[in-house]
Every structure is written in structure tokens, then in C-alpha cells.
């Protein structure tokens, strides 16, 4: 739905612009078929952080308590980045992988369909 300003000279500023993240980028990650997490999670990280840091430190903290987490094998995970198929380079930075401010990463773990296959 389009929004129309009351005054023609209105200039709004987005509170989540990259300038407000102190050198970090904010991006979202969604674990597909795991609706126990009802929406993508937001993370703020330096753009030069290795992708492997996201996998080894950040995501386990966010998703690790789910019973399916033990099924995650990063070599088999299927990724999309901003709705396009994505093959991340684990030793490259987020930026080098094309992850920018407000990107959306989605990952699917083959064989992990949520608690008892429920998608949750």
C-alpha cells in the first residue's frame, strides 16, 4: 500500500539506515521450515566479518536450542540471498559474499522439517 505524505515537502528518515549501525550492517536470517521462529531474525555484524563467524558463533546462539539444530550440516544447507540461489564462501566476508545492509538470507537444512516434521 502506498503512503502519501500530508505535506508535499515531507522528508522522512529511515531509523534503520546503515548510518545508524556504527559500522555494522543489519541483515535478516530465516531458517526455513522452522516456524518456532515466526519471522527472520535480525543481526548486526561488521561487513568484513567472515561468513564462518555467522555460522559458527552467531546462528548457534540464536537457533541452537531447537532440537533440529543438531541436524545442521553446513555442507548440505541450501541458501538464498535476497530471493536468489546463493552459494556462500565460508572463508570470505559477509560483504564479499554480497550480504549488504537489509539483506535477507534464508537457509534450508535437508532432513530437518521442524519438531516431529511439523515445520515448527
Reported as a single tens digit per residue, the pLDDT across 25-79 is 999 999 999 999 999 999 999 999 999 999 999 999 999 999 999 999 999 999 9
Contact 32, 113 (CB under 8 A): no
Q: What is the DSSP string of 34-69?
A: -TTS-SPEEEEE-TTSBHHHIIIIIHHHHHTTSGGG
Mean pLDDT of 89-95: 98
Residues constituting the chain: 120
pLDDT above 60: residue 94: yes
Closest by CA to 22, choosing from 56, 45, 1, is: 45
Q: What whole-number distance in Å separates Cα of residue 12 and Cα of residue 113?
A: 42
Average pLDDT value over all residues in the chain: 92
Question: Looking at the domain 22-89, which fold is it?
Answer: Ubiquitin-like (UB roll) (3.10.20)
How much is the pTM?
0.86
Query: In whole angstroms, what is the distance from residue 117 CA to residue 103 CA?
Result: 28
Domain range summary for the chain, segments of one domain joined by +:
22-89
pLDDT for the residue 2: 61
The confidence band for 7, taking pLDDT boundaries of 50, 70 and 90, is confident
Torsions phi, psi of 30, nearest 5?
-125, 130
Quote the cell numbers at residue 21: 549501525
The pLDDT of residue 1: 53
Contact at 8 Å (CB) between 29 and 43? Answer: yes
Amino acid at each position: 500500500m502506498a503512503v502519501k505524505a500530508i505535506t508535499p515537502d515531507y522528508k522522512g528518515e529511515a531509523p534503520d539506515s546503515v548510518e545508524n549501525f556504527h559500522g555494522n550492517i543489519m541483515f535478516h536470517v530465516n531458517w526455513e521450515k522452522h516456524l518456532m521462529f515466526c519471522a527472520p531474525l535480525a543481526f548486526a555484524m561488521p561487513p568484513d566479518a567472515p561468513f564462518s563467524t555467522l555460522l559458527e558463533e552467531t546462528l548457534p546462539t540464536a537457533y541452537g536450542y531447537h532440537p533440529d539444530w543438531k541436524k545442521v550440516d553446513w555442507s548440505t544447507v541450501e541458501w538464498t540471498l535476497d530471493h536468489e540461489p546463493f552459494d556462500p564462501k565460508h572463508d570470505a566476508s559477509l560483504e564479499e559474499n554480497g550480504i549488504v545492509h537489509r539483506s535477507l538470507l534464508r537457509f534450508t537444512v535437508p532432513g530437518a522439517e521442524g519438531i516431529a516434521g511439523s515445520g515448527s
